Structure 1
Amino acid sequence: MNLNLQTEQPASLTIIGAGAWGSALVNLAQKAGSRAQLWSRRSFQSLKSVTQDAEVILCATSMKGVNSTIAQLQKISIPETTILVSATKGLDAITMQTPSRLWQTAFPQNPVAVLSGPNLSPEIVQGLPATTAIASTVQAAAEKVQKMFSSDLFRVYVNDDPIGTELGGTLKNVIAIAVGVSDGLQLGTNAKSALITRSLKEIIAVGTHLGGKRETFWGLAGLGDLLATCSSSLSRNYRVGYELAQGKSLATVLDELQGTAEGVNTAHVLLKLAKTQNIQVPICQQVCLLLNDETTPKEALDALMNRELKSEFIK
C-alpha cells in the first residue's frame, strides 16, 4: 500500500470532534508543523470539503458520535490511501466493538490507526510535556501519524497492537471511577495502590482475551494511561467516582461535568462482554452496581474486601 510518505509540504490532517481532546490534538499537530484543521457539526464548512484532500482523518468524538461520523464519511468518496485514526476511548453498546474495529469494518481497504496514551487534555493545553502511542498493523501509517504529532512537547511512540492500545485506554476509564470512589472515601494510599494493581489484572485479562498483546498493557496506553487517569482530578471518570463517594447521584454528577465520562457507558458494556466471555471482572462489576444505584460505595468496598481468599497469581 502506497501511503505517499514523501511529500513536498507538510501532511494534511483533519480532526473530527472539537471537544477538549480534539482541540488539544489540532494544536499539537500544528505545533509539529502539520497542516491540521478541526471540524465539528457546528463548523461552517461541510465535512466533505475538509476531508476530501486530507491524508489523515482523525476522529476525536465521544463514543456515541462514532457511528454517525462513520455513516457521514461513507457517503463521501474517501481514497483508500487515507489513514483513519481513532482517538476515541469507548465500546459500542450494541456490537461491543472498539471504535477502530468499527472504522475498519466500514472502510476495509483503508489503513486504520489508534492514538492513545496518558494524555490529560488540560495539561496538554497548558503546554506541559506528554507522550502517547500510535498503533496500527500498517507500520507506514503509524509512522506517518507519529511524524505529524511529534514535537518537543509531545513524544509519540509507535506499536503494532491497535486493539491492545485501544482497550488499555478504554478500560482504564472504568477503573478511574473505582479509584475516584476510593479517594472520595479517604481509604488511603495502600488501598488505592492495591485497587490500581488488581484493576490492571482485570484490564489485561479482558484485553488479551480480545486479542491485545500483554506487553501493550504495560506500556503508555495501558499502565501509563491508567496511572494518569487514576491520579488526577482532571480525569472526568475519576471525578465521577469521587463525587459518588460524596453522596451525589449519578445524574447530578454527570450534569455538573464539563464533557463526557466515557467510563460510565463503558462499564456496562464491559460487564456484558465479560459475562459472555466468562471473564472475571469483580471491580468492574461493583462499579456497575454503584452506577446503577444498586449498591453504595461502602458496600462495594466490603464486597471486594470479603471475596474468597486465593493466590495472587493464578497459573
Structure 2
Amino acid sequence: MIHPKSQSLASDRQHSTQNPRSVVVLGAGAWGTTLASLAAANGHRVQVRSRRDGAISPSEIERADVVVSAVSMQGVATVVREIQTLPLLPTTIFVTATKGLDPVTTLTPAQIWQAAFPDRSVVVLCGPNLAKEIQQGLPAATVAGSTDDNAAVAVQAVFSSPQFRVYTNSDPLGVELGGTLKNVMAIAAGVCDGLQLGTNAKAALVTRGLTEIIRIGNSWGAKTETFYGLSGLGDLLATCNSPLSRNYQVGYQLAQGKTLSAILAHLEGTAEGVNTTQVLMQRARQQDIYMPITAEVYRLLQAEITPKQALEALMLRDLKSELL
C-alpha cells in the first residue's frame, strides 16, 4: 500500500515535470552546479551563470521563473544591484543558497535580497548538503524557508527528488542563520579533530556550539525550534564531521600548524565561516551577546592565540549551569 505522502511527492514531481520552469542559477561553484543539476533532472529549463564569464544574458534572467543565488557572500550585493536594473517577471521567485553575513551591515543574504525586492518572494535553501555527496547521487535533505508558503512549495517542487528531499519552513531567518552560524562551529570542530582531542570533546563542542547558535539566533529574532531542524542541527552535524567541509578544513589545518593565509590560498572555494566569525564579533559587541566559542575562534583566526590556548580558554571558564 502506498502511503498518501508518497503519492503526494510523486504527484508534485510529475506536476513539476509537466510544468517546467525557467531556472537561472547565479554562481557556477560546486553548490550552484549541484542545484542546477537537481532542477534539470526534474525537467526544468536551467541556465547557470558564472560571475566571471557572464555566460547568461540579462534577457534570460528577465524571463526566469526562479532565480537562484549561489554566489559567495562577497558577491551578493553586486549581483543584487545588477538584477535590480532588469525588468523581471512579476512572479519571479528568488532563492538564496549563500551562507554568510554582510561585513558592513551584518545582514543575511536573504535580508539583502528582500530589502532590494520588498514585493518579491525570497526563499532560503539550506540544510546538511555537502555538494560532492549529492553529485554522487547519495541521499540528502534540505529546507526551503520563506514567509511566502506558496513560494516555498514551488521551490520544493523544483528541487525535490527521491535522492533529495526538500522540506518547507516558515522561519527563513532561522533557516538561514542555522546554515550560516554553524560554519563558525565547523572551524572549531576542525581544530578539535586536528588536535586529536577525541569523541568526548567533539560531542561537547558541537552540543555547546548548538546552544550558542540558538542564543545568537534568538537575539536576531529566529525561532528556537528551527535550529533543531535540518538547517540547524542537521547542517551542524554534517559540517562539523566531514573533511569535505571547507570550514572544517580551516580549523583542522590551523591545528596542524598552518597559517590562515596559507590555508585559504590553497582552499577549493570559499570558507564563509572566516568572514562570519568577524561579523558575529561585531554584533556581539554591539548587542552584548555571550559567544565564548565564537570569541575563541575569532582570536584563533586573528593569530592572537594558538589552537591549544583556545581550548584552554574554553575549558577554564567559570563553572555554570548547562542551561545558561
| TM-score using structure 1 length | 0.96
Alignment check: 8 A CA contact 1:24 1:124 kept = yes
2:21 to 11, 24, 37: 11
Alignment check: 8 A CA contact 1:182 1:192 kept = yes
1:1-315, aligned counterparts within 5 Å?
Answer: 9-43=19-53, 45-314=55-324
SS at match of 2:46: strand
Q: 1:167-222 CA distances to partner (integer Å, 9 max, x unpaired)?
A: 00000000000000000000000000000000001100011111111110000000
SS at match of 2:124: strand
Equivalent residue letter for 1:233: P
Superposed displacement of residue 8, structure 1? 6.0
Range 143-152 or range 70-79, more displaced? 70-79
SS at match of 2:123: strand
Q: 1:63-102 CA distances to partner (integer Å, 9 max, x unpaired)?
A: 0010000011011112332111110000000000000000
Partner residue in 1 for 2:10: none
Superposed displacement of residue 59, structure 1? 0.1
Alignment check: 8 A CA contact 1:34 1:149 kept = no
Superposed displacement of residue 6, structure 1? 9.4
Superposed displacement of residue 33, structure 1? 2.3
Determine the C-alpha separation between the residues in 2 that align with 1:237 and 1:166. Answer: 17
Determine the C-alpha separation between the residues in 2 that align with 1:270 and 1:208. Answer: 14
Determine the C-alpha separation between the residues in 2 that align with 1:182 and 1:246. Answer: 11
Alignment check: 8 A CA contact 1:39 1:50 kept = no
- Provide the aligned length of Structure 1 versus Structure 2: 310
* Aligned-residue RMSD, C-alpha: 1.4
Superposed displacement of residue 298, structure 1? 0.5
Identity of counterpart residues, as a percentage?
A: 56
Equivalent residue letter for 1:170: T
Determine the C-alpha separation between the residues in 1 that align with 2:52 and 2:289. Answer: 42
Superposed displacement of residue 7, structure 1? 10
Q: 1:42-81 CA distances to partner (integer Å, 9 max, x unpaired)?
A: 4464441221111110100000010000011011112332
Structure 1 residues 21 and 28: CA distance shift in structure 2, 3 A: same
Superposed displacement of residue 278, structure 1? 1.1
Determine the C-alpha separation between the residues in 2 that align with 1:137 and 1:271. Answer: 28
Superposed displacement of residue 275, structure 1? 1.8
Determine the C-alpha separation between the residues in 1 that align with 2:242 and 2:304. Answer: 27
Superposed displacement of residue 29, structure 1? 0.9
Determine the C-alpha separation between the residues in 2 that align with 1:209 and 1:85. Answer: 24
Alignment check: 8 A CA contact 2:102 2:279 kept = yes
SS at match of 1:115: strand
Range 197-206 or range 37-46, more displaced? 37-46
Determine the C-alpha separation between the residues in 1 that align with 2:63 and 2:130. Answer: 30
Q: Which runs of 5+ in 1 are unaligned?
A: none
Alignment check: 8 A CA contact 2:17 2:43 kept = no
